[in-house]
Amino acid sequence: MDTRELADRTRRFVTEVVFPVEREIVADSRPMDDALRLELQKAAKEAGVFGPLSPVQYGGLGLDTRAQAVVLEAAGTSLIGPLALNCWAPDDGNIHLLAHAANATQAERYLAPLASGEVRSAIAMTEPAPGAGSDPGMLRTTAEEVAGGWIINGAKHFTTGADGAAFVICVARTEDGPTMFLVDKDNPGFRVIRRMPTLDHTSAPGGHCEVTFTDCFVPDEAVLGEVGQGMEYAQVRLAPSRLTFCMNWLGLAVRAQELTARHISGRESFGARIADHGMAQAQLADNEIDIEASRGLILRAATAIDEEGAASSPARHLASVAKTFVSEAVWRVLDRAVQLHGALGVTEDHLVARFLVEARAFRIYEGPSEVLRWSIARRVLRTHR
């Protein structure tokens, strides 16, 4: 099937199957739970749109990055569309990472059920101060080698998806450098303290959690890839993951623009349709410009990934640029959508209110704009020295 057709089918699925569920859970102010997720994923499989990011051998569609761009935008038109398709954080990145670094045994045990949606996963990188936040160099969680395995000790927060995840990928400092470990949820040394009260609660079934690893023993087979390669793997995970974030969230901006155009077409004030007021049109046009520019940046970064590899310098540069711009553009679009809805825009009767609140974290997670700008500037300076 060609990409455009798959994207259209995805959009149709999301519109017909996911939108009604979304309205319900937003109205009830409750997050996605796993029962709902599994039900939607079943429907997505039947519709032939499940797993756009997952390898074909694990039941996914195995799309290249450019195809992902259009399909994930369609998926993202609902806050919970990407969950229905299994292309949402942190599982999207974890699938990618496992496909890259897991050995055959690990792949069977962790990747297969994750790719099929049978289980969820989590990624435990970020730590409370003075540990690793935006700066991964500040990593404090440790893994000490012992007979037959490792003992992990440390505290993490913003462990996305941890509540209810079947396993957690934990980054810890070893003598040979940062290393990734696969930790099962029922490991007695692992504990989910609480879901943090983050603004993005609708779209995150497992929350963003505080977790601890306390004398947490894992066997040697729990090492993901090679010891000491944790930071490299984090990069492997990050470049495409930043971009899928962009694709998904751009979909939400597109949806907000549709809702807004329809809303202001049907309402009057001061003797004219709101849609005929110049100031409303200016905002609609600015939204369109932000959306189209976002598409352009995503497409260019996707092309660089497909043609030069996700680890290539152009791909990483363009992914940083795209993440910075798109996260800010989506925010502007949603904010204008709220404004154009008037007072209704700040009630959760209209989805745009929830969208705006939910999206705030996008400018921070996976690299805050400031850190990305810093890295973009350094690359510019290196190039034009």
Q: Scanning residues 120 to 179, which ones bind its own copies (CB under 8 A)?
A: 126, 129-130, 133-135, 137-138, 158
Task: From 2-10, 33-41, 143-151, 196-204, give the range in contact with its own copies by CB under 8 A.
Answer: 196-204
Task: From 37-45, 185-193, 245-253, 368-376, give the range in contact with its own copies by CB under 8 A.
Answer: 368-376
357 binds its own copies (CB under 8 A): yes
- The answer to whether the beta carbons of residues 345 and 353 sit under 8 Å apart is yes
Minimum distance of its own copies from residue 129's CB (angstroms) = 5
Cα-flanking dihedrals φ and ψ of residue 182, to 5°? -95, 115
State which of residues 50, 200, 222, 355 lies at the interface with its own copies (CB under 8 A): 200
Alpha helices per DSSP H over 51-126: 65-75, 81-85, 91-101, 104-106, 112-115
- Please return the burial class of 282, using the count of CB atoms within 10 Å of its CB with bins 0-12, 13-18 and 19+: exposed
- The answer to whether the beta carbons of residues 361 and 198 sit under 8 Å apart is yes
286 binds its own copies (CB under 8 A): yes
281 binds its own copies (CB under 8 A): yes
Task: From 107-115, 216-224, 233-241, 265-273, give the range in contact with its own copies by CB under 8 A.
Answer: 265-273
State which of residues 293, 309, 311, 313 lies at the interface with its own copies (CB under 8 A): 293
74 binds its own copies (CB under 8 A): no
Strand partners, 178: 173
User: Is the peptide bond prior to 130 cis by the omega test (within 30 degrees of 0)?
Assistant: yes
231 binds its own copies (CB under 8 A): no
- The answer to whether the beta carbons of residues 253 and 288 sit under 8 Å apart is no
56 binds its own copies (CB under 8 A): no
Interface of this chain with its own copies, residues 306 to 345, rule: CB under 8 A: 318, 321, 324-325, 338-339, 342-343, 345
209 binds its own copies (CB under 8 A): no
DSSP 55: -
- The answer to whether the beta carbons of residues 32 and 163 sit under 8 Å apart is no
215 binds its own copies (CB under 8 A): no
State which of residues 148, 196, 221, 309 lies at the interface with its own copies (CB under 8 A): 196
Distances (CA, A) of 99 to 110, 196, 214, 255: 10, 29, 28, 32
Whichever of 248 and 320 has its CB closer to its own copies, that residue is 320
268 binds its own copies (CB under 8 A): yes
185 binds its own copies (CB under 8 A): no
103 binds its own copies (CB under 8 A): no
Give CB contacts under 8 A, 24+ apart, made by 370-373.
371/134, 371/135, 372/320, 372/321, 372/323, 372/324, 373/324
- The answer to whether the beta carbons of residues 173 and 142 sit under 8 Å apart is yes
State which of residues 57, 103, 214, 265 lies at the interface with its own copies (CB under 8 A): 265
38 binds its own copies (CB under 8 A): no
Minimum distance of its own copies from residue 383's CB (angstroms) = 7
- The answer to whether the beta carbons of residues 31 and 12 sit under 8 Å apart is no
Task: From 90-98, 166-174, 220-228, 282-290, give the range in contact with its own copies by CB under 8 A.
Answer: 282-290
User: Is the peptide bond prior to 90 cis by the omega test (within 30 degrees of 0)?
Assistant: yes
